[in-house]
Each structure stands twice: as structure tokens, then as C-alpha cells.
A and B are shown apart, each in its own frame.
Chain A
Amino acid sequence: MTEEYQTVTIRVNGEDVTKSIPVRTHLVDFLRNELGYTGSHLGCEHGICGACSVRVDGVVVRGCLTLAVQCEGADVLTIEGLSDSGEIADLQDKFVERNAMQCGFCTPGMLMTAAELLSHKQAMSRDEIREFMSGNFCRCTGYHAIVDAIESINNSRLKG
């Protein structure tokens, strides 16, 4: 079978980009290889680990389970865009303060998922935070510090 190409236009981190790509290219390969946004990581590449988490049209998704061609016209935000926006600057500072990243491989995905948690503006127990974050693996097993950081920021934001 010959490789099928299609041209897509996707808004990535606020900028429209148009590329001709093989239709089988998933979103993270597109972001990393075509655009150089290497903050989105590929761990398992079959939807288990969560390292590839990116925001598509306002919600966090598995970048490895989304074809780039499916994102025609979509608004995609990677960890680079999320960082630049300042939306989770407090959480990122808290990750550093609480030592919530070790090797750092899972961190972009953790932050993307945690950003969605914070966006709900709901009080959450540690168990609820763990459940919300359960789709993101940290192979350094630094979960405690990650939950610490998220819990701390969620609580402080709710207090205003």
C-alpha cells in the first residue's frame, strides 16, 4: 500500500500551521517531528502511560491515540504553549518546590492533566486527585510529591 498524504491546518499553541503529512502520523509525532515541540513525550505509544498528554479543543487527550489529520481545524496546546501562557506557572513552581519531578519524562503529561484538574475549580481530596491523575505514569514513582504539589495549588487557588 502506498503512503497516503493529506494536508492539514492545525492551530498549535496559538499559531496556524499547515503541513502535508502521512495520514498515519499521530499527533505527537506531528508536534515533535514536524514542528519541533518536543515537550510532548512518547512513552508507551498505546495510551497507557500518559506522557503524550496534550490539550485538543480545550480537553486533555492522549496525543499518541489521536491522528494529526483528525485535528484539522482543531486548537492544540502543548506543554510549551501551556507554559508560555502562565496558566499553571504556580503549579510548575510548586513542582520544583516539592521536588515533584525526578527524571522529568512524565512531567509534561502530568502538568497537562493537572491543568485540567485545576480548571474544574473543585475541592478534591488526595484520593480524588490520585484518581484523576491515574492515567499518568511516573516510572520514578514520585507520585506522593506530585499529588502534594497539585493538592497544594488546588487548595490555594480555591482559597483565592
Chain B
Amino acid sequence: MKAPKFKYVRATSVADALKMLDEHGENARILAGGQSLMPTLNMRLSQPEILIDINRLDALKGISLDGDTVRIGALTRHVEVQRSAVVRDHLPLIAEAMPHVAHVAVRNRGTFGGSVALADPAAEMPACVLALGGTIVVESVAGRREIAADDYFKGLYETARQDNELLVEVRIPSQKKDRVSVFLELARRHGDFAIAGICAYGKVSGTTIEDMRLVYFGSEDKPTVGRNAIAALKGKAWNDTTKAAVGDALASDLDPMANLSGSPAMKLHLQKVLTGRAMDAAVARAGGAR
């Protein structure tokens, strides 16, 4: 189908974009990579009055290392994140996840900030940011605001960002060298929307999971921390007994959505399977053997 009518304006500066966003509020949409917005327009699932194109705002582009923090500008394309040496060295979880983000042509246009701003429940980057304890920086005409990832993802496509705020940057602490991370997802075709997925980041000694943060995506309405599963893993040797206990605990963490890609029961099963595979990989990466 064809997109509905809208007005289009190309922002000339961040201040310009913020001014327009303040003026139009919920009737405006920010056009970054457009890889999620344009499909919703073409399918007429959304009908904004005005698109504010931020693609020429170079101030929002780029990846840099600031002490122990990696700063990723909102308009940084997925392909740039995928090729970044800073990301490879300091955020291996994101480096591992990036090949799963859609396909080549989409990664050439889609942006890191756009993915986090939209908060698609099946998207990889929101889950990674939550798993690594990132901070989302938003800006409005009133100034900047920093939101911890734990407080940012509120529900289905719902975040703590206000209508007049622009996501300008995501800050993510460098992964610690004594910790391991694992990213896994299941999709019908490589690069398609995840049916189930997991981000794991934590400390493993031998076969003992000392501490492991688990974030699930794809099955839930938003990236979700598996609090009970984390508690069931903490300090435990990774074996079949622990695996069963974590699986049981996970049932009280997750409340999978039913949709065309599967029933809640199937998705819960897949998340348990992924949890097992992720911990197998975490132990192997930490140099232990099960």
C-alpha cells in the first residue's frame, strides 16, 4: 500500500528538531532510518501529521569511548555499530547480536537510537541495552534527561520518553573483562523478528554461575529481566538440577504474548531452551566445562 498524506520537514539542527517536536508533540514522528516507521506508514497503521527527518543531523552520529562508557549516537546506523572496533572490544554482547538485526539493506539504514526509541518487543538492541545497564539520553526544548534502561521500557512500544523528547544518545558501560556475555535468538528466517531471545551477561567461575543478568525479548511485550531465573542461578553450579530450577523460575518471570508466531506455552518453552543453551555457552566461554 501507499503511505497516507503527511507533511515532511528536514531538521537542520538538533535544536530545530526539538522545536518542531515541541510544537507538534504526538502528531509528529521522528524519521531516522525509517525501517520500522515506513512500513507502518505504507500499511497505514500510523498516520502522523508531520515527519521530522533527522537524517542530516551529524551531531547525532557516531560511536565513542568515554572512560568506561561507550556512547552511541542515536543516528548511528546498525551497520556502523556492527563494524565498530569499540563495540567489538567493549560491547561484545551487542557485536554478537548485530548480525541478527534484520538484513543487510535494513542495517544500512536503520539506526541504533531508532530501535531503542521504538522499543519493538522483538528488537535486539533494546534487550541488549537493558542487559548491559545502559542509560538512554533524551532531549527536549527544556533540556536533557537521562533515563536508566531499567526505568525506560514501560510496555508494548511504550517508553519513558515523552512526545516532545528526542532520543539523542545511548550510553552503555563497557563490559567487564572478567564477565561473559551470550546472545541467542530464534526466528523463522535469519534476520526476521525474534520469536524468543535472550541476552545474558555475568560472572562464571569454572562451572559456577556466580552472578548472571538475564534479559528476555521476543516473547514479552517489552524486554524483560528474568528476576526469578537470575535468583535461581546465583551461586549455583550449572547442571541439570540448576537448569530445571531456572526453567521453573522463568515461568514466573515471563508472560508470553500469543500471536501468529506461537502460543504462550511454546514461547515459554523456547525461552527455557535458550536459557539452557545460553548458560552452556557462558560456561564454555568462561573456560569451564560442564
Contact = CB atoms under 8 A, between A and B. Distances in A.
* Bound pair (A, B): yes
Contacts, number: 99
A75 interface: no
A45 B42 contact: yes
A62 B109 contact: yes
B38 A69 contact: no
Contacts of B2: 24, 26, 29, 45
A23 to B, nearest CB: 4
Nearest to B45: A46
B191 A135 contact: yes
Interface centre among A4, A24, A53, A72 (most CB of B within 10 A): A24
B5 A26 contact: no
B6 interface: yes
Contacts of B8: 4, 6, 23-24, 67, 69
B15 to A, nearest CB: 21
A interface, over-half SS:
mixed
A154 B12 CA distance: 41
Given A70-B53, A131-B190, A60 B5 contact: no
Interface of A: 1-4, 6, 22-24, 26, 29, 45-47, 50, 53, 59-62, 64-67, 69-70, 72, 113, 116, 130-132, 134-136
Interface of B: 1-8, 10, 31, 34-35, 38-39, 41-43, 49, 51, 53, 55, 79, 99, 102-106, 108-109, 189-191
24 contacts: A4-B6, A23-B6, A24-B5, A24-B6, A26-B42, A45-B1, A47-B35, A47-B38, A59-B108, A61-B105, A64-B42, A65-B34, A65-B42, A65-B109, A66-B34, A67-B38, A67-B51, A70-B53, A72-B10, A113-B104, A131-B99, A131-B190, A131-B191, A134-B103
Q: Which 9 pairs show the lowest CB-CB distances between chains A and B?
A: A135-B103, A46-B39, A23-B8, A65-B38, A59-B108, A24-B3, A1-B5, A134-B190, A60-B105
